[in-house]
């Protein structure tokens, strides 16, 4: 028995319209999400004061895709892609009346070419309606408009009645509702060949069409406001990190100053000329620290600062202190946190060499491997037992401060290790992500 081919059955009118409305919301949400990913578009969203250039970019970013959507509706009969009302009104609401009118003009051009003569004044009118509402409405009230406005509808109504003042959430809700009802009225009066509209088959479907229009306006605002909040949080994190780094950095300077002043105090009576030289060197180093407000410097600059510090220690120790540098040339322009090596060198002198009988040496090394910068400070001092490694890393200000600063700046991407052997010496090793001076960074 031959197979009988069944003809595909079309969806009922109400189901087809419901599907169109759902796809329409999805199209608007996808467009809003894609636009929010572009840096310049996010910049326009974040700052309320926008020049003509920003407004034009905003209008084109929304208008061109929506114009293509109207073209898809005319050529492919894809009704869900036509977001004329929502796009023009939304552009006016966010960027002002002229941006809204520009978007209205762009989306109406394909419809006008197809003979829909009412589309042009209607779309431009929607843009001016959104822009006019923006002029009178508090800006934060616009960003608070969400798809969930219906959940708190009773509260907004009660607020308006109790205070006898306009509730801007109700105003923002009423505007797209009024525009959609106006479009329905004009469409019924002049026909779909003069103004495109979704023709509902029942009062319930009319309510769904109006609801979809409101959601198509509120959903992008919600998405873009989330992007604005995310940007603000990132800025707050940057400011918090800068504050933490500055606080940790300020711990190092008094720590070093206290130790140096203690050395000067011990030399004033026995070696007054040496104490005088120390004071001069210390004042030069402090002047450098006061002038510098940078959180990050090149390794070359950090080594210059270490030389000034070692000049002070050389006066104290004389020929007993030897310093050797094994610096790879390709690391000189690597970016490092400022004042990150001085605590390590000071730790080697204070805990490794001061108590050693005879001469002592410090070796500072650096190299690059696997896209990481490695810096070591090694001494041949008295060292300490392995079971006291954790104690050395947490006691005192120096090493604990360095570890905390590295954690604040790099998170899990860095490493500070300490190896020591009694009678042999100690090695402190820092591993941080490789970043060259050409790649400027901020705190």
Whether the model clears a pTM of 0.75, i.e. scores above it, the answer is no
Same domain, 293 and 229: no
Distance (Å, whole) CA 43 – CA 299:
34
Same domain, 219 and 274: no
Same domain, 193 and 73: yes
Identify whether the C-beta of residue 214 lies closer than 8 Å to the C-beta of residue 173: yes
Least confident of 86-100, 157-171, 347-361, 429-443: 429-443
Between 80 and 251, the higher pLDDT residue: 80
Same domain, 311 and 205: no
Distance (Å, whole) CA 299 – CA 286:
19
pLDDT at 29 (0 to 100): 93
Quote the mean pLDDT of the chain: 83
Query: What pLDDT, in 10s, does the model give residues 145-179?
Result: 888 777 777 777 777 777 777 788 888 999 999 99
Which conformational region is residue 371 in: left (phi greater than 0), alpha (psi within -120 to 50 degrees), or beta? left
Domain-embedded: residue 249: no
pLDDT at 441 (0 to 100): 45
- The pair of three-digit structure tokens given for residue 282, joined into one six-digit string: 């210390």
Distance (Å, whole) CA 235 – CA 241:
10
Identify whether the C-beta of residue 123 lies closer than 8 Å to the C-beta of residue 104: yes
Query: What is the number of helices (H) and of strands (E) in the chain?
Result: 15, 7
Split at pLDDT 50, 70, 90, the class of 397 is: low
Domain-embedded: residue 194: yes
Domain-embedded: residue 183: yes
pLDDT at 133 (0 to 100): 93
* pLDDT (mean) for 202-224: 92
Domain-embedded: residue 210: yes
Same domain, 277 and 196: no
Closest Cα partner for 275 from 289, 257, 286, 261? Answer: 261
pLDDT at 326 (0 to 100): 93
Same domain, 116 and 45: yes
Res 201 pLDDT > 50: yes
Identify whether the C-beta of residue 268 lies closer than 8 Å to the C-beta of residue 275: yes
Same domain, 304 and 205: no
Res 111 pLDDT > 50: yes
Domain range spanning residue 324?
A: 268-433
Token pair 């552009």 is found at: 91
Res 307 pLDDT > 80: yes
CATH number (domain holding residue 325): 3.30.565.10
Least confident of 4-8, 21-25, 170-174, 365-369: 4-8
Per cent of the chain over pLDDT 90 is: 37
Domain-embedded: residue 255: no
Residues 6+ apart with CB under 8 A from 401: 248, 251, 252, 255, 343
Domain-embedded: residue 82: yes
* pLDDT (mean) for 215-231: 90
Identify whether the C-beta of residue 391 lies closer than 8 Å to the C-beta of residue 426: no
- The pair of three-digit structure tokens given for residue 121, joined into one six-digit string: 């004044």
Same domain, 196 and 296: no
Closest Cα partner for 416 from 437, 392, 436? Answer: 392
Same domain, 84 and 200: yes
pLDDT at 50 (0 to 100): 75
Phi, psi values for residue 326, rounded to 5°: -125, 75
Which of 157-166, 246-255, 386-395 reaches the highest mean pLDDT? 157-166
Res 288 pLDDT > 70: no
Distance (Å, whole) CA 88 – CA 179:
11
pLDDT at 219 (0 to 100): 94
Domain-embedded: residue 96: yes
- The pair of three-digit structure tokens given for residue 73, joined into one six-digit string: 């509706």
Q: How many domains would you assign to the chain?
A: 2
Least confident of 26-35, 37-46, 104-113: 37-46
* pLDDT (mean) for 321-344: 88
Closest Cα partner for 360 from 368, 349, 351? Answer: 349
* pLDDT (mean) for 268-285: 82
Domain-embedded: residue 324: yes
Same domain, 137 and 180: yes
pLDDT at 390 (0 to 100): 56
pLDDT at 2 (0 to 100): 45
Q: At what angle do helices 84-95 and 168-190 cross, to 10 degrees?
A: 150
């Amino acid at each position: 028995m031959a197979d009988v081919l069944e003809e595909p059955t079309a969806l009922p009118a109400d189901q087809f319209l419901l599907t169109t409305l759902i796809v329409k919301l999805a199209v608007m949400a996808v467009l809003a999400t894609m636009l929010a990913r572009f840096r310049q578009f996010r910049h326009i969203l974040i700052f309320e004061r926008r020049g003509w250039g920003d407004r034009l970019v905003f209008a084109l970013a929304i208008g061109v895709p929506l114009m293509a959507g109207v073209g898809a509706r005319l050529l492919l009969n894809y009704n869900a892609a036509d977001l004329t009302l929502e796009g023009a009104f939304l552009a006016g609401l966010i960027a002002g009346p002229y941006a809204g009118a520009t978007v209205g003009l762009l989306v109406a051009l394909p419809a006008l070419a197809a003979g829909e003569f009412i589309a042009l004044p209607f779309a431009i009118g929607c843009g001016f309606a959104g822009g006019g509402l923006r002029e009178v409405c508090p800006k934060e009230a616009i960003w608070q408009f969400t798809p969930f406005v219906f959940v708190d509808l009773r509260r907004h109504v009660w607020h308006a009645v109790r205070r006898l003042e306009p509730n801007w959430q109700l105003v923002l809700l009423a505007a797209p509702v009024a525009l959609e009802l106006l479009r329905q009225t004009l469409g019924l009066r002049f026909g779909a060949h003069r103004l495109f509209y979704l023709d509902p088959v029942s009062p319930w479907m009319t309510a769904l069409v109006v609801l979809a229009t409101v959601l198509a306006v509120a959903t992008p605002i919600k998405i873009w406001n989330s992007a604005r909040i995310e940007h603000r949080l990132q800025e707050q994190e940057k400011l918090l990190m800068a504050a933490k780094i500055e606080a940790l950095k300020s711990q190092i300077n008094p720590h070093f100053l206290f130790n140096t002043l203690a050395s000067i105090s011990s030399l004033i009576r026995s070696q007054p000329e040496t104490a005088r030289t120390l004071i001069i060197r210390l004042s030069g180093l402090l002047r450098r620290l006061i002038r510098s407000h940078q959180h990050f410097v090149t390794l070359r600059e950090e080594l210059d600062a270490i030389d000034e510090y070692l000049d002070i220690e050389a006066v104290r120790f004389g020929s007993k202190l030897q310093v050797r540098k094994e610096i790879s040339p390709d690391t000189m322009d690597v970016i490092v946190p400022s004042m990150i090596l001085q605590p390590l060198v000071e730790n080697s002198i204070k805990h490794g060499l001061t108590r050693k009988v005879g001469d002592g040496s410090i070796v500072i090394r650096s190299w690059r491997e696997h896209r990481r910068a490695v810096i070591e400070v090694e001494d041949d001092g008295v060292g300490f037992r392995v079971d006291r490694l954790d104690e050395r890393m947490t006691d005192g200000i120096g090493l604990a401060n360095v570890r905390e600063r590295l954690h604040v700046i790099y998170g899990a991407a860095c490493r500070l290790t300490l190896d020591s052997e009694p009678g042999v010496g100690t090695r402190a090793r820092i591993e941080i992500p490789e970043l060259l001076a050409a790649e400027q960074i901020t705190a």
